[in-house]
Amino acid sequence: MKLVRHGETGRERPGMVAPDGTIRDLTGLVPDIGGAVLSDHGLAMLRAVDPSVLPQVPEGTRLGPCVGGIGKVICIGLNFADHAAESGMQVPPEPIIFMKATSAVCGPNDPVPIPRGSQKTDWEVELAVVIGKRAKYVSEDEAMDHVAGYCVANDVSERAFQQERSGQWTKGKSADGFGPLGPWLVTRDEVADPQALGMWLKVNGDTMQDGSTQTMVYGVRYLVSYLSQFMSLQPGDVISTGTPPGVGSGMKPQRFLKAGDVMELGIEGLGSQRQEVVAD
């Protein structure tokens, strides 16, 4: 099942993707794609709905972030060995955790503003995991029971803010528009193996990233269990699991985004995004 949120910014409505590819409106059936709707019970209720009887959303309607009411966005750094190598850093002995402000979250095709003073805005295609059931001190064997599904994320990053201005990475990750999510939330039953998904990103039509979740150092099952030892994971929380090689800061010479650039990115089975870069 593929779930979406559609409509203008801040007023998105819940929806689902029908078998024919059209988007159908779930307004009145559920309040949003978030909270209790993401539980096994909530998702089972939606699976029982016949999309053909739902109103069709007009083609071209904006898609919002595919999850509503996000409590926190937890990001994992240097989680691909080949990306760590291109960054000149060692694979960490435990996952590197940082947070992205929820105000950065936006729709999959919304413009991405370059922050004022930025010289090093970069791209990162990532697999995002959406929590469906509260997780606290869960084992790896239990971890997947707490996952509602998956979506594409672009962990847009300002490298100078992140790495050259001391302190934590969060300030280089949290500008408005730095967290495109979607187009859909794909429920976990439709993803046979989250560690076997191709992922890619292009800038102005040129392929920059071409990788796979197979090369993640710490997989989804481990990350959900690991994070739950330090904080409770709540329905609607998002875990962005790291990026493969091919980011601009790893190139020689380095390449960063400028106004007018277009990013296109996607993950096998999870859809694709397209963002135009604009000045803030």
Q: What pLDDT is stored for residue 199 in this prediction? A: 98
- Return the closest-CA partner of residue 40 out of 206, 253, 187, 161: 187
Residue 91 is predicted with a pLDDT of: 80
Residue 205 lies in a domain: yes
pLDDT score recorded for residue 85? 74
Whole-Å CA distances, 122 to 78, 117, 228? 15, 14, 29
Residue 8 located in a structural domain: no
> Per-block average pLDDT, block size 10, for the chain (280 residues)?
97 97 97 97 97 96 98 94 74 92 98 96 98 98 98 96 86 96 98 98 98 96 98 98 94 96 98 97
The reply to whether 261 falls in a domain is: yes
DSSP string, 6-25: ESSTT--EEEEE-TTS-EEE
Q: How far apart are CA 99 and CA 101, in angstroms?
A: 6
Residues 6+ away with beta carbon under 8 Å from 66: 3, 4, 5, 33, 108, 130, 151, 181, 182, 183, 184, 185
Q: How many domains does the chain have?
A: 1
In a domain, 85, yes or no: yes
First to last CA, the chain: 36
- Which among 271, 88, 68 is positioned nearest to 182, based on CA atoms? 271
Full-prediction pTM beyond 0.85? yes
Residue in this structure with the two tokens 């003073």, named with its chain if needed? 117
Contact 183, 108 (CB under 8 A): yes
Identify any residues that bridge with 212 across adjacent strands, giving them in sequence order.
198
Determine, yes or no, domain membership for 25.
Answer: no
The reported pLDDT for the residue numbered 167 is: 79
Residue 1 resides in a domain: no
Q: How far apart are CA 124 and CA 136, in angstroms?
A: 28
Q: Is residue 171 part of a domain?
A: yes
Spell 111-146 as b/e; 16+ CB within 10 A means b: ebbbbeebebbbbbbbbbbbbbbebeebeeeebeeb
Rounded-to-5 percentages of helix, strand, coil across the chain: 20, 35, 45
Residue 133 lies in a domain: yes
Residue 86: the pLDDT is 74
Question: What amino acid occupies position 34?
Answer: G
> Which CATH number characterizes residue 176's domain?
3.90.850.10
**Residue matched to tokens 């791209």:** 123
For 210, the domain range is: 67-279
Q: Give Cα separations from 19 to 6, 24, 28, 116, 271 (angstroms).
A: 18, 10, 21, 43, 14
Give residue 87's identity as a one-letter amino acid code: S
